[in-house]
Amino acid sequence: MNGPVEYIPTTLNAIRVDTVVGCDLYLQNCVNNEVRYVLYCSGTSVVKSDKIEDLQKHQIKRLFIRKEDQKIYLKYIESSLIHIINDDRVDIKEKAYIVYDVAKNIMVDVFEDPRSGEQVARSKNWVSNTIDFVMKSKGAYSNMINMISHDYYTYTHSVNVSVLGLLFAKYLGFDGNEMQAFGTGLLLHDVGKTQVDPDIINKKERLNDAEFAMIKMHVELGADILKQTGCVDSASFFPIMQHHEKYSGKGYPNGLKGDAIHKYGKMACIIDVYDALTTKRSYADARKPFPALKIMNDEMTGSFDEKYFKDFILFLGSGGERQYQKSKKKFPMSV
Ligand SMILES: [Fe+2]
């Protein structure tokens, strides 16, 4: 027998007039302390403006969907993401939540079907919308950082790394094209893990040499798959190919050293390690930012480009905004 239907809330402002959501929308009613869900708009109907206005008139801010329809709903939200980002009625916290949730949903699909050009196109589109969000919204940094999941799944790690990377790139003054290439590469950097035996990926015990060699192959396997889609820009392959290269030359797959590593690769390596350390893993608890940076500094000496590592520390402490030097004009000491 099926269990009770579970409902989850949606943001009213995310639902646009004259669109078809694709799943039923419900109103939550409370009658005699009993919560009930009443169908408000069927998933196949066009949402008319009077329906939305009616809800606004009654100050209803949330509609509900069945939990089983979440994927359909997220795909709908994905299609209107840019409108949501640019909608002043949606508060920034909610925008950050939606941006993050849409990305998780895309990444689940990417990992299920990494060879699909459609999934790559969705990834690129998300990066483009997220750049818009990050560049235009004051407070995007703190709200996005708060969204970052500290439970590890390959797809949440990919989203975390891309979000952190886009914020870091903004901090460093990257232009839109650079952010697009870098953010897409970060989102897709671990796609090759789909080609490695999950028993090895999820193994809690220490890996033996053969298993570690298999894990290392994820970099090139991922790059090969993405190349075959023909949809990934060449600059995005720097973070994909180089996120495990170490400044010392002790990384993989090519053992590149120092400035032979592209700046996207240097930054990707720092962000990848930082996210792994601040995320709960089967073999370690999630570290707070400072202890994670301390491990990177003390125990991984020589692994990272010093300049970018320093910038990354300053970026994390900055609230996402670079503190430009104030005017050099000297202020009078006394008036
Ligand atoms: Fe990786």
pLDDT digits (tens, 9 = 90+) for 264-285: 999 999 999 999 999 987 677 8
Q: 57 alpha carbon to ligand 1 midpoint, in Å?
A: 50
Residue 333 counted as domain residue = no
Distances (CA, A) of 197 to 45, 150, 191, 200: 44, 24, 13, 6
Q: 243 alpha carbon to ligand 1 midpoint, in Å?
A: 6
Q: For the residues 220-241, what does the mean pLDDT come to? A: 97
Q: How would residue 206 be classed by pLDDT, with cut points 50, 70 and 90?
A: confident
Q: How many domains does the chain have?
A: 2
pLDDT score of 335 more than 50: no
Residue 138, pLDDT score: 86
Q: 269 alpha carbon to ligand 1 midpoint, in Å?
A: 9
Q: Tokens at residue 135, please?
A: 């560049």
Q: 221 alpha carbon to ligand 1 midpoint, in Å?
A: 11
Q: Tokens at residue 274, please?
A: 């930082």
Q: 320 alpha carbon to ligand 1 midpoint, in Å?
A: 25
* Max mean pLDDT range (6-20, 31-45, 145-159, 222-236): 222-236
Residue 278 counted as domain residue = yes
| Coil, strand or helix at 36 | strand
Q: 153 alpha carbon to ligand 1 midpoint, in Å?
A: 13
Looking at the DSSP bridge assignments, the partners of residue 73 are none
Residue 330, pLDDT score: 40
Residue 11 counted as domain residue = yes
Residues 21 and 163 in one domain: no
Q: 122 alpha carbon to ligand 1 midpoint, in Å?
A: 21
Are the beta carbons of 101 and 149 closer than 8 angstroms?
no
Residues 95 and 241 in one domain: yes
Q: How would residue 327 be classed by pLDDT, with cut points 50, 70 and 90?
A: very low
Residues 257 and 283 in one domain: yes
Residue 327 counted as domain residue = no
Residue 34 counted as domain residue = yes
Q: 120 alpha carbon to ligand 1 midpoint, in Å?
A: 18
Residues 59 and 12 in one domain: yes
Residue 74 counted as domain residue = no
Q: 150 alpha carbon to ligand 1 midpoint, in Å?
A: 17
Are the beta carbons of 107 and 158 closer than 8 angstroms?
yes
Sheet holding 62-66, edge to edge: 7-11, 62-66, 25-31, 34-41
Pick from 38, 69, 100: which residue ends a domain?
A: 69
pLDDT, one tens digit per residue, over 176-197 is: 999 999 999 999 999 999 999 9
Residues 301 and 215 in one domain: yes
Q: Which residues surround ligand 1, an ion (CB under 5 A)?
A: 190
Pick from 69, 91, 112: which residue ends a domain?
A: 69
Residues 25 and 92 in one domain: no
| Coil, strand or helix at 255 | coil
pLDDT, one tens digit per residue, over 287-322 is: 999 999 999 999 999 999 999 999 999 999 987 777
Q: 244 alpha carbon to ligand 1 midpoint, in Å?
A: 6
Q: 190 alpha carbon to ligand 1 midpoint, in Å?
A: 5
pLDDT, one tens digit per residue, over 60-74 is: 888 999 999 999 999
DSSP string, 208-266: -HHHHHHHHTHHHHHHHHHHHHT-S-GGGHHHHHHTT--TTS--SSS---GGGS-HHHH
Q: 307 alpha carbon to ligand 1 midpoint, in Å?
A: 22
Q: 171 alpha carbon to ligand 1 midpoint, in Å?
A: 24
pLDDT score of 1 more than 70: no
Residue 50's contacts (CB-CB under 8 Å, 6 or more residues apart) are none
Q: 100 alpha carbon to ligand 1 midpoint, in Å?
A: 20
pLDDT score of 326 more than 80: no
Distances (CA, A) of 104 to 222, 253, 270: 19, 27, 22
Residues 121 and 262 in one domain: yes
**Is the model more confident about 135 or about 282?**
135
Residues 201 and 302 in one domain: yes
Instruction: In whole angstroms, give the CA distance from residue 214 to residue 199.
Output: 11
Residue 323, pLDDT score: 58
Mean pLDDT over the full length of the chain: 91
Residues 109 and 180 in one domain: yes
Are the beta carbons of 271 and 165 closer than 8 angstroms?
yes
Residue 325 counted as domain residue = no
Residue 96's contacts (CB-CB under 8 Å, 6 or more residues apart) are 133, 140, 143, 144, 146, 147
The boundaries of the domain holding residue 54 are 1-69
Instruction: In whole angstroms, give the CA distance from residue 153 to residue 65.
Output: 25
Residue 21 counted as domain residue = yes
Poorest-pLDDT segment among 170-174, 198-202, 320-324: 320-324
pLDDT score of 334 more than 70: no
Q: 222 alpha carbon to ligand 1 midpoint, in Å?
A: 9
Residue 325, pLDDT score: 45
| Coil, strand or helix at 45 | coil
Instruction: In whole angstroms, give the CA distance from residue 103 to residue 155.
Output: 9
Determine the straight-line distance between the first and last CA of the chain, rounded to whole angstroms: 82
pLDDT score of 99 more than 70: yes
Residue 260, pLDDT score: 98
Residue 321, pLDDT score: 72
Residues 107 and 145 in one domain: yes
Report how far Cα 295 is from the mean position of its chain's Cα atoms. Answer: 24
Residues 312 and 173 in one domain: yes
Q: 191 alpha carbon to ligand 1 midpoint, in Å?
A: 8
Q: 59 alpha carbon to ligand 1 midpoint, in Å?
A: 47
Instruction: For residue 212, give the CATH number of its domain.
Output: 1.10.3210.10
Residues 152 and 243 in one domain: yes
Are the beta carbons of 147 and 100 closer than 8 angstroms?
yes
